[in-house]
Structure 1
Amino acid sequence: MSHVQYVDELVKEYLLFRGFSQTLKAFDNELKAEKEKGFRVDKIVDQLMQYIYAFDLSSLRELWGHLDTRMFSRLENHFVPGVRKLENAVLKMYLVNATMNNKQERVHEFFTKMTPELQGHSEWKDWFAFPFIKNPEDNPTYSVHFSKQWQDTMLVSLHNFLATIFQCMPQPTLLTIDEDTNKLKRLQEENDALRQALSESTKVDNILDVNSGSTPQHPPIMDDFYIIAQESPLMENPKTLRSLIKNIGGGSSPILHRKSLTSSKKPNETSSNETIAITKRTCTKGRVNSLSKEIVGKRSMSCDSRLTRKRDFSIDTTAVERKTKDKIESNYILLSQEEYTEHKTSIIQSKSNASGSYVATGDADGIIKVWTPIPSPKTVATFTSTTLNSNKAVTALDWISKNERYFLHGDNNGSIQLHDTRDSKTLWEIQHEGSRIVTLLCNPIDSTFVCSVSNSNESKLLLYDIKTKKLERTLPMDGNLTALYSAFNHNGQLLITGLSNGNLLIHDLRRNEIIDNFNCHSCPVIDVELINDYSKICALSEDGKLCQRSLSQTGKILWETKIKIEKNSVHGKMFTFDQSGSHMLLCTQTGGNIYKMPPGLQVKILELGGHKGTLCCDWSTANQSGTCITGGAEGKARVSTLLSP
């Protein structure tokens, strides 16, 4: 981030060149007031120390809160204790500095303002006696914090921590353009050097071919299954299975691409391959083509694919083969398809557990089936909604993150139930009379879940504890809007929610506050997912508009496209991604389709089919063979087993 100031100057120069004087003035004012100090760690640490030395507790808390919201909240969950330890160290340095300068009123002010936040933390248990102890620098509990060694160590730790965060932060394109330019230039130079080396190598080989009187010997034609004996066991190396399946019947065994070895042969003893090679040396291109056509008619296709070509054609052939190979290896292969037909009505919800061993599907009649997708669909347990209302469709469903034995479901009558798949029983139920459970999502880290409850009068976004089934709190919402779909980030601290007005809402669950609310669509957002290491948001609207935003730059649209989706008042997840985020499974009217990202290019990889209206989908990539589940309006679930690229 050291070149941020340089980019700022470039922006100023550009604004001045374009005559945007008002924009330049506003840009200068915002630069002066920015709290990140141009992402200079030394400046941020100096600012924190200035607030400590000036006894400005409010400004100190405001700056730390800004850093927490902007950067710390997006860290992995295991970094949270370190952040809290640094925050406590900064606050303790504030108290030590106030005491050393005989500012007892500042010490009392600190505890008056901070007691509600600190009283539940064991680390501050002994510090509440700090204002009433004379000469705390001599007390064993506090003496270490008065030492210069502790203060210097704390500042170094804070400096290193911030520097590491800035180093790993995703950077905007403008900051990386210089690095990308240098990288492209370096790659171009390497390509030129390799091209020159290849040219020189080709000249040398041509000279050797002319001077050599011997006829090159080509490898014998071998069976495709020869690869099995040359590879390690299939189960130990998953890539072997992919290679084997792709090579069978294609005439592309790695053994056949090995470099030909030259050996002496007896006079008048040549194979058909050798005859072709000799003929290509002495004949014109037209004669070579005619000879090749004659041989193709006499030999099988598998043998013909192994014919060795002369070196002057090998460069073009290798390029074509490489492009074809890359195209094949970048796509999924459909291995098998099965159907699960236990449901009698439309399947609205479908969700696999973390290991992919079980799938839970819910239909419009309130029936939930738990079944195994591999090797063939088989029912494990069945659950029925207990509500007496006829409108009891399963509207939400999710597995408990830390225990694959349990899952939650919500229905159209306001009921939320926790189920045990092993004992096939319902453990507890939460009832919201006269309401509808719109969405339900389990936290990936904590034993909590978020649910959206809606009725004719109001809509709420609630956070429950799974173990105690108690309502922890109601999450803040902007206006009387309905949360239609939600997604957690990797550490369960941020919640991204699609609203009925087309906006996306980002909650910080630790602080129970909204940190961002931005417009994404003009219609209600019906599906949301985070991809690419949880750094990008994909959102689908009711009118079929699909777009992607950056989690750190929500105002910037990375791509968007328009797709056709099944029109239905009740549906589940309409799209999902593989682990890499490079392929998307999308529900269509005829079944699930897999697209290469971004979908705006319309690069359809696979058409899974099998439905007369697809209402939900799920993609489990827990094992080597990915499993796609699609639920249809006709009451069938389709299981498609894929071989990943």
Structure 2
Amino acid sequence: MSHVQYVDELVKEYLLFRGFSQTLKAFDNDLKAEKEKGFRVDKIVDQLTQYIYNYDLNALRELWGHLDLRMFSRLENHFTPGIRKLENAVLKMYLVNAAVNNKQDRIQEFFIKMAPELQGHSEWKEWFALPFIKNPEDNPVYSVHFSRQWQDTMLVSLHNFLATIFQCMPQPTLLAIDEDSVRLKRLQEENDTLKQRLADAVKPETISDVNAGPVPQHPPIMDDFYIIAQESPLTENPKTLKNLIRNIGGSSSPVLGRKPIVSVKKQMETEQITKRLNTKCRINSLSKSEAVAKRSISCDSRLNSSRKRDSPIDAAFERKNKEKIDASYILLSQEEYTEHKTSIIQCKSNASGSYVATGDADGVIKIWTPIPSPKTVATFTSTTVNSNNAITALDWISKNERYFLHGDNNGIIQLHDTRDSKRLWEIHHEGSRIVTLICNPAESTFVCSVQGSVSDSSEGKLLLYDIKTRKLERTLPLDQNLTALCSTFNHNGQLLITGLSNGNIVMHDLRRNEIIDNFNCHSSPVIDIELINDFTNICAQSEDGRLCQRNLNQTNKNTWEMKIKVEKNSVHGKLFAFDQNGSHMLICTQSGGNIYKMPPGTQKVLELGGHNGTLCCDWSTANQSGTCITGGAEGKARVSTLLSP
């Protein structure tokens, strides 16, 4: 079931190609409402735990009932006891979470709704007394369920059970495309191996003949259509259009790469070689086996043979072109957005990549479309008259691309509606400034870091707000005299990773409102931090320009580290970003954005350029052509459209 998302994209592409727009819209709506999460076990388990931690009993029961109806009910009878045991464990975890957080009303609600189903079951007999027992974690009946070991074991068991079921489920023919692809590729490789063995075993028969005529010396005939014929939609990457563009447009073509004009000196050498061959021997004929051997010669071997005949200058030229072709990303176009009058210090694309929000040092926020050419959609300005009202933080609401939040130097946080071009609400932190702001990817909350103004040396605070109610839910624990300068959430919004002013990185568990890890990363303040797509590695950049990667399982040493020159500016946005796979990295430099292959260093792929000091960047991978946005100190935003690998 690991290729469900890939097949979904194929179906979307086909419907779009056929012009079935209504069917495509209905398909998208069904995908958004599906409860199987694309048969992603981790997503299903995360959804169940989210319902548990949010005390959403109805949604928890509905999701479990859906899984029971769609999958569990089709299993053999001997699986039934295990399924019921897992269901009871999930319900008990719900009660334990409510008891730990002193939610007696949720416990009462649980037994009122579930009593008709649970009464009569022996293993629930003692649990009905839970609401009336003080300190149930110390009671021998319930103590094991309050332990972290039991909860982790239960989640692992649930994960393994679902993974086993999905693996054993009968798959439709369309989902077997990957297995067929692997099988055909293996057969093709075996076929090529047998051809090569046959070619090596059969030697051409030759006889000497002094009367033989000159041997014609023709370069191998090769064209781009040979490369097109080698492209197979099943054995190669399905994005054959991209490979075709590279082969036809790049210098990897043997026709385009071959030198069309032969020098006089090379012609003379060829004539001398011909005369020598005329006096020694000639080839009598080609056997059928030799013809097979010639047909089995690969494109690479023909290209290498032609390169041997070229001059050193030609070889250097081809090496240079090959380096360009080996680049993972191809720069298709670049545009500039010039509506800002001062430095752009915040830029962020929404989830679909349709809109970009940029904020400048004068407190002006522009909402604009990057493709096909930059065009302003809405403009928002700060409500204060203070000259120092720079936009210091900006982020889109995760669950609705219509809204975004921003914070400024005057301690004001505002929620905006891009469709109606209006401000919905604002929060004031007098005498402070908003350092960073980030929205939870799974819940309607956001976290912001608030620091006293320059004249006020008070310590910073890390605050968790509810977006809908605009209320402060809680203040996250933080050591004294420290300020959170940057933060990022993990994929389910349960962990918050924060870079501090003392160079440390802390990890907050938002479910338990506690710090679960605190380690030193840099000797100077951490000004930007980001999780790589596998969510087990982080990249952090310090104020002195050191960029490093740490594994969250081994936080005592760097995986890699590099030094970059940072633009000296008290306010800036994201200084680096990753592509969808986490294999490439966009880094802000003084001259513009640079794309590196991970891990970065000397493997620079592209230089986007266009700035005299780059203060922020973003990489949107929502569409097939990746879009890189960079904001500069001169007030320009540069849009670079890339052809992704």
Deviation at residue 458 of structure 1 after TM alignment: 2.6
What residue identity is the alignment partner of 2:449?
Answer: S
Deviation at residue 209 of structure 1 after TM alignment: 8.2
Contact 2:98/2:104 (CA < 8 Å) preserved in 1?
no
1:77 pairs with 2:63:
no
Q: Which residue of 2 aligns with 1:44?
A: none
Q: Which residue of 2 aligns with 1:594?
A: 595
Question: What is the CA deviation profile of residues 520-542 of structure 1, one whole-angstrom value per residue up to 9, with x for unaligned ones?
Answer: 11100000000032111110000
1:142 pairs with 2:142:
no
Q: Which residue of 1 aligns with 2:412?
A: 415
Contact 1:538/1:546 (CA < 8 Å) preserved in 2?
yes
Q: Which residue of 1 aligns with 2:514?
A: 513
Contact 1:219/1:256 (CA < 8 Å) preserved in 2?
no
Contact 2:250/2:325 (CA < 8 Å) preserved in 1?
no
- What is the SS of the residue equivalent to 1:473? strand
**Cα distance change of structure 1 residues 229 and 476 upon mapping to structure 2, 3 Å threshold:** same
Q: Which residue of 2 aligns with 1:116?
A: 102
State how far apart, in whole Å, the 2-side matches of 1:357 and 1:628 are: 13
What residue identity is the alignment partner of 1:143?
Answer: G
State how far apart, in whole Å, the 2-side matches of 1:632 and 1:111 are: 48
**Cα distance change of structure 1 residues 88 and 521 upon mapping to structure 2, 3 Å threshold:** farther
Q: Which residue of 2 aligns with 1:37?
A: none
1:522 pairs with 2:523:
yes
State how far apart, in whole Å, the 2-side matches of 1:167 and 1:602 are: 45
Contact 1:392/1:412 (CA < 8 Å) preserved in 2?
yes
- The TM-score normalised by the length of structure 1 is 0.63
- What is the SS of the residue equivalent to 1:248? helix
Q: Which residue of 2 aligns with 1:356?
A: 353
Q: Which residue of 2 aligns with 1:573?
A: 574
Question: What is the CA deviation profile of residues 499-550 of structure 1, one whole-angstrom value per residue up to 9, with x for unaligned ones?
Answer: 0000001001111111111111110000000003211111000001111111
Q: Which residue of 2 aligns with 1:98?
A: none
State how far apart, in whole Å, the 1-side matches of 2:588 and 2:396 are: 21
Deviation at residue 558 of structure 1 after TM alignment: 1.4
State how far apart, in whole Å, the 1-side matches of 2:303 and 2:437 are: 63
State how far apart, in whole Å, the 2-side matches of 1:249 and 1:385 are: 48
- The TM-score normalised by the length of structure 2 is 0.63
- What is the SS of the residue equivalent to 1:246? helix
State how far apart, in whole Å, the 1-side matches of 2:546 and 2:198 are: 53
Q: Which residue of 2 aligns with 1:545?
A: 546
Contact 1:111/1:128 (CA < 8 Å) preserved in 2?
no
Q: Which residue of 2 aligns with 1:246?
A: 246
| Number of equivalenced pairs | 478
- What is the SS of the residue equivalent to 1:554? strand
User: Which blocks of at least 5 consecutive residues in structure 1 are unaligned?
Assistant: 1-71, 95-109, 130-138, 170-192, 258-275, 285-305
Question: What is the CA deviation profile of residues 464-488 of structure 1, one whole-angstrom value per residue up to 9, with x for unaligned ones?
Answer: 1111111111111122310000000
Deviation at residue 230 of structure 1 after TM alignment: 10
State how far apart, in whole Å, the 1-side matches of 2:162 and 2:592 are: 40
Question: What is the CA deviation profile of residues 417-464 of structure 1, one whole-angstrom value per residue up to 9, with x for unaligned ones?
Answer: 111111111111111111100000001110111100110223111111
Deviation at residue 241 of structure 1 after TM alignment: 3.2
State how far apart, in whole Å, the 1-side matches of 2:593 and 2:340 are: 19
Q: Which residue of 1 aligns with 2:10?
A: none
- What is the SS of the residue equivalent to 2:340? coil
State how far apart, in whole Å, the 1-side matches of 2:303 and 2:344 are: 58
1:162 corresponds, among 128, 151, 156, to 156
State how far apart, in whole Å, the 2-side matches of 1:230 and 1:93 are: 58
Question: What is the CA deviation profile of residues 86-117 of structure 1, one whole-angstrom value per residue up to 9, with x for unaligned ones?
Answer: 899469999xxxxxxxxxxxxxxx99986924
- What is the SS of the residue equivalent to 1:206? coil
Question: What is the CA deviation profile of residues 371-393 of structure 1, one whole-angstrom value per residue up to 9, with x for unaligned ones?
Answer: 01111111000000001211100
State how far apart, in whole Å, the 2-side matches of 1:558 and 1:572 are: 25
**Cα distance change of structure 1 residues 117 and 607 upon mapping to structure 2, 3 Å threshold:** same
**Cα distance change of structure 1 residues 561 and 93 upon mapping to structure 2, 3 Å threshold:** closer
Contact 1:368/1:382 (CA < 8 Å) preserved in 2?
yes
Question: What is the CA deviation profile of residues 63-101 of structure 1, one whole-angstrom value per residue up to 9, with x for unaligned ones?
Answer: xxxxxxxxx99996224169889899469999xxxxxxx
Query: What are the residue-to-residue correspondences of 1:19-58 with 2, within 5 Å?
Result: none
**Cα distance change of structure 1 residues 557 and 229 upon mapping to structure 2, 3 Å threshold:** closer
Contact 2:45/2:155 (CA < 8 Å) preserved in 1?
no
CA RMSD of aligned residues (A): 5.0
**Cα distance change of structure 1 residues 380 and 197 upon mapping to structure 2, 3 Å threshold:** same
Q: Which residue of 1 aligns with 2:171?
A: none
Deviation at residue 208 of structure 1 after TM alignment: 6.7
State how far apart, in whole Å, the 2-side matches of 1:487 and 1:570 are: 18
- What is the SS of the residue equivalent to 2:419? coil
